[in-house]
Structure 1
Amino acid sequence: MTSLRQRLLRPLRRLPHGPVIRLSPPEILLLGFVLLSCVGTLLLLLPIAARESLAWHQAFFTATSAMTVTGLTVVDTASFTLFGQLVILSLIQLGGIGFMIFAALTLILLGMRLPLRQQSVIQENLNYTSYRDLLHLVRLVVAFALVAEVIGTGLLALAWVPRYGLAEGLWVSFFHAVSAFNNAGFSTWSESLVADVANPIVNITISLLFVIGGLGFIVVAELIERRRIRRVSLHARVVLHATFWLALVGMLLFLLLEWHNPATLGGLESLPARLQAAWFHSVTPRTAGFNTLDTGSLKEPTALMTMLLMFIGAGSGSTASGIKVTTFVVMLLVARSFFRGGAQPTVFHQSLSDMTVFKAVAVALSGMLLIFTCLFVLTITEPGKDFLALAFESVSAFGTVGLSRGITAELSLAGQATIMVTMLLGRAGPISLGYFIATRQTKGLKYAKGTVHIG
């Protein structure tokens, strides 16, 4: 097997039918994230990027957070100049729509051939089952993202152009539209969207952008083509139903838990403002990262609920991360099937394959182990800090959400490095895991079945 060093030095191998990439998709993905984060770091260190000089680790953290569409910051985004914010926005766009999608599109346009194993990871990432229509899907991804961002910019401009003027109003509208669609959570204001907690245009537009971006491009494509939920695939129906119920239950619990909290909902005078804030904070943990209320003032039960939503994330093949709603639903269906004595988990009168169950278990377990490892390291590097705040930060980094209880900038250099690694693995991990599942080799030797007692 060719060593990683040799593959990095000579990433292309020329064959009679064209050049072939020697690097595996996980290697391409992680290497691409790291390299683009380094490029972003160098650009953010330029004197024209920030109003005050940045330390290298501050620039690197910001670039990594933008590239992984997380939104956690150690430096206020408002402290960057227009050039610096443009760099951040470019990283968000690259990381949100997907580095592998951009890479695949570039290679196809250059006439290079993607080996089947490289195509498999794109198929796994997008939950698409036809290699023949891969190029069409990649074009759809890019076109849909641009259209959604332009429409979002126009709607937000209705609220912000009258307030900030034409030039600044259009810029902040465009910045927040791109950040919202890509589920990044970066804002040009220090307090995110707290000033617009009662503004229906901002609340509806921003939340719709990151909800649509979090559905997954395949789900959106099916809705556009078929226009009826009953005709879409099982995957799309699961994502749509899970998204609706998670938003509804989350909103009701948020209202119940925070209604009398004077630092959050209790401090809002009107009923529409409270309902908007509850809705926004029931959907934003699904990796969006914006906030219209002070996240650090949430009660402990609400913080735990938010952590669960951050862990679940949004749809597969979307701009969001987390273990994905489909994984969460499959795990629930497996538990239900076991308690009912069923042979296989079923949903919408269809049974789920063993491989689907195995994938869900692998993704969920990997996510939990990554969060535990991150939290374990943070408890060592950040002695004396609030445990709930550290746990909240760990889950937010894994889900690339960006919500924080206000300790990100206070973390030590080792703590920030831990968060950066978690953001990278949280963003690239599910795709890499999908690659290893897709390219597994079936052994010819089978062993006798054994019994292990559970519970």
Structure 2
Amino acid sequence: MPLVSRPAPARLPEPKRSWYARLRPPQLIALVYFIGILLATAALHLPGVLRPGADMSSVDLLFTATSALTITGLAVSDTGETFTRYGQSILMALFLLGGLGILSFGTLFAFLTGRRVNFSERQHLQAQISGLDTGSVVRLLRTIFTYALGLQLAGALLLAFRFVPQFGLGEGLFQALFHSISAFNNAGFTVVPGGMSQYVSDPLVSLTISALVILGALGFIVQFNVVNWLQRPREHRLTVYSLLTLLTTAALLVVGFLTVLLLEWGNHATLGPLPWHGKLLAAFFQSMTPRSGGFSTVNIESMRSATLLVLIILMYIGGGSGSTGGGIKTSTFAILAGSAWNMVLGRGELIAFGRRVERDNVVRATTVTTLYTLMVMTALFLMLLTNPNIDFTHLLFETVSAAATVGLSMNTTAHINNTGLIILSMLMYLGRIGPLTFAVAFSLRRRQQQGVRYPPERDILVG
């Protein structure tokens, strides 16, 4: 029987992928936050946002929009006196968008409209919230929304017990909700008349704000891991990442607390006039806020130089990965410190809690820290050139605060010129998306090396 060749089946044309699907996760994150800043700036230009007589230029509004969306907290003027209730509500919405992530809200919209979230979108979300498993990232996102909103409402309820008697029902509830959202998302904006210094010895306000900031800076992955471990310890264990984040956060809080307490105890411009219990509470609050909180209950400008240096280091380290905090991240710092200790002891591999830390993680931690340091130093150099009349310490503090999206200031922001405000705006943007994310977003794809390996060079002196 003769063989009959069958014609090959016609290949169907591949469906054209949208621009959204063609973007890599870092590119999409960088683009969405950039567009978000432009839209936020436009929203702050709307009529009725500013109070009558408030003087805010377009650069000031760009800076404020960037600070709000990147959940930093730096402000060129008093937020409560400059913005109307309508404008403050826009800022509050920006905190939520910046804290939980613009892409996260896009996926929530997909849920509400019944549209299916495809694999590419799951990858984008996984990169943004540091999800560990692409398959479960949508379920994780849904849990994050419920958990985060629940915590912010609980925080608002606690703060209402202080603000409602002080300001009345309507104003008190708004103040409670605004500061709860601002604290949990590590935004650092405040609209309370007179500032937060009036609550320096108030345990209800100080501890509620502190708890919200710390929870926001830990990251959702760590918190869910802890909750699952507490509920079912036989089925779940604390991951190495969770242990590193929790222990590093606790250690940094203790270091910051002892530093502020000991160095500022007799400083009449900060802790000096307070009773002993007020000093303890204020020292803890000031050790918490560099985690990316941005609130302060004492005058930061009046602190001793040694205290300011410790606060700068704490801001530089920042919060946990996948959290609302900035900085190089606590896990990055822990890996770097562990690697240095390993080198001193002459060990070949980094071991943490009975687990080997992969070399790729060490390289990534080193890369993030290097890029972050170069970013901060470049910005500081430009700030010194463009604002020569401002003290070096003030500019250093302001620059690190912007890069780490903290929002603490030595009363410097209002004195920075427009060029400096634009530099800080770019710094807040890069600090929010992460320098490594930005570098990867605009780097060329790696070309595969086909069987080419170069000989090693061992005669390079380091250190």
Global fold match (TM > 0.5): yes
Q: Which residue of 2 aligns with 1:38?
A: 38
Query: Would you say 1:450 and 2:452 are equivalent positions?
Result: no
- The verdict on how the C-alpha distance between 1:258 and 1:167 changes in structure 2, with shifts beyond 3 A counting, is same
Q: 1 CA distance for matches of 2:119 and 2:136?
A: 15
TM-superposed CA distance for 1:405, in Å, is 0.6
Q: 1 CA distance for matches of 2:211 and 2:268?
A: 27
TM-superposed CA distance for 1:90, in Å, is 0.6
Q: 1 CA distance for matches of 2:333 and 2:425?
A: 25
1:144-168 CA distances to partner (integer Å, 9 max, x unpaired)? 1100100000000011111111100
Helix, strand or coil at the partner of 1:267? coil
What TM-score do you get using the length of structure 2 for normalisation? 0.90
Helix, strand or coil at the partner of 1:48? coil
TM-superposed CA distance for 1:111, in Å, is 3.2
Q: Which residue of 1 aligns with 2:399?
A: 394
Structure 2 unaligned runs (5+)?
A: 1-13
Helix, strand or coil at the partner of 1:285? helix
Q: Which residue of 1 aligns with 2:386?
A: 381
Candidates 40, 61, 64, aligned match of 1:62: 64
Q: Which residue of 2 aligns with 1:231?
A: 237
Q: Which residue of 2 aligns with 1:220?
A: 223
TM-superposed CA distance for 1:224, in Å, is 1.7
Helix, strand or coil at the partner of 2:134? coil
Q: 2 CA distance for matches of 1:422 and 1:141?
A: 27
- The verdict on how the C-alpha distance between 1:142 and 1:435 changes in structure 2, with shifts beyond 3 A counting, is farther
TM-superposed CA distance for 1:443, in Å, is 3.3
Candidates 414, 417, 422, aligned match of 2:422: 417
Q: Which residue of 1 aligns with 2:29?
A: 29
- The verdict on how the C-alpha distance between 1:148 and 1:441 changes in structure 2, with shifts beyond 3 A counting, is farther
Q: 2 CA distance for matches of 1:62 and 1:150?
A: 25
TM-superposed CA distance for 1:22, in Å, is 2.7
Asked whether the 8 Å contact 2:368–2:436 carries over to 1, the reply is: no
Q: 2 CA distance for matches of 1:442 and 1:330?
A: 29
Asked whether the 8 Å contact 2:217–2:319 carries over to 1, the reply is: yes
1:328-380 CA distances to partner (integer Å, 9 max, x unpaired)? 00000000000000001111121211000011001111110111011000010
Q: Which residue of 2 aligns with 1:111?
A: 115
Q: 2 CA distance for matches of 1:343 and 1:378?
A: 41
* Structure possessing the higher radius of gyration over alpha carbons: 2
Asked whether the 8 Å contact 1:77–1:190 carries over to 2, the reply is: no
Q: 1 CA distance for matches of 2:28 and 2:161?
A: 41
2:29 maps to a residue whose letter is L
TM-superposed CA distance for 1:447, in Å, is 1.3
1:217-366 to 2 correspondences below 5 Å:
217-227=220-230, 231-268=237-274, 270-366=275-371
Q: Which residue of 1 aligns with 2:101?
A: 98
- The verdict on how the C-alpha distance between 1:171 and 1:398 changes in structure 2, with shifts beyond 3 A counting, is same
TM-superposed CA distance for 1:115, in Å, is 5.1
Q: 1 CA distance for matches of 2:78 and 2:384?
A: 25
TM-superposed CA distance for 1:18, in Å, is 8.6
1:296-322 CA distances to partner (integer Å, 9 max, x unpaired)? 111111111000000100111111111
- The verdict on how the C-alpha distance between 1:260 and 1:59 changes in structure 2, with shifts beyond 3 A counting, is same
1:287 maps to a residue whose letter is S
TM-superposed CA distance for 1:106, in Å, is 4.0
TM-superposed CA distance for 1:36, in Å, is 2.1
Q: 1 CA distance for matches of 2:19 and 2:413?
A: 44
Asked whether the 8 Å contact 1:66–1:88 carries over to 2, the reply is: yes
1:266 maps to a residue whose letter is G
Across the aligned residues of Structure 1 and Structure 2, the Cα RMSD in angstroms comes to 2.2
Candidates 127, 139, 143, aligned match of 1:140: 143
Asked whether the 8 Å contact 1:336–1:345 carries over to 2, the reply is: no
What TM-score do you get using the length of structure 1 for normalisation? 0.91
Instruction: Give the percent of matched residue pairs that are identical in Structure 1 and Structure 2.
Output: 36
- The verdict on how the C-alpha distance between 1:19 and 1:378 changes in structure 2, with shifts beyond 3 A counting, is closer
Asked whether the 8 Å contact 2:27–2:438 carries over to 1, the reply is: no
TM-superposed CA distance for 1:35, in Å, is 2.2
Asked whether the 8 Å contact 2:402–2:427 carries over to 1, the reply is: yes
Q: 2 CA distance for matches of 1:28 and 1:87?
A: 24
Q: 2 CA distance for matches of 1:182 and 1:365?
A: 26
TM-superposed CA distance for 1:432, in Å, is 1.4
1:162-191 CA distances to partner (integer Å, 9 max, x unpaired)? 111110000000000000000000000365
Q: 2 CA distance for matches of 1:430 and 1:120?
A: 19
Q: 2 CA distance for matches of 1:393 and 1:343?
A: 39
Q: 2 CA distance for matches of 1:378 and 1:99?
A: 30
1:81-111 CA distances to partner (integer Å, 9 max, x unpaired)? 1000001011111011122333344456663
Asked whether the 8 Å contact 1:214–1:318 carries over to 2, the reply is: yes
Total equivalences in the alignment: 439
2:453 maps to a residue whose letter is K
- The verdict on how the C-alpha distance between 1:258 and 1:97 changes in structure 2, with shifts beyond 3 A counting, is same
Structure 1 unaligned runs (5+)?
A: 1-13
Asked whether the 8 Å contact 1:120–1:435 carries over to 2, the reply is: no
- The verdict on how the C-alpha distance between 1:191 and 1:302 changes in structure 2, with shifts beyond 3 A counting, is farther
Helix, strand or coil at the partner of 1:227? helix
Q: Which residue of 1 aligns with 2:49?
A: 49
Q: 2 CA distance for matches of 1:43 and 1:363?
A: 33
1:129-168 to 2 correspondences below 5 Å:
129-168=132-171
TM-superposed CA distance for 1:434, in Å, is 8.9
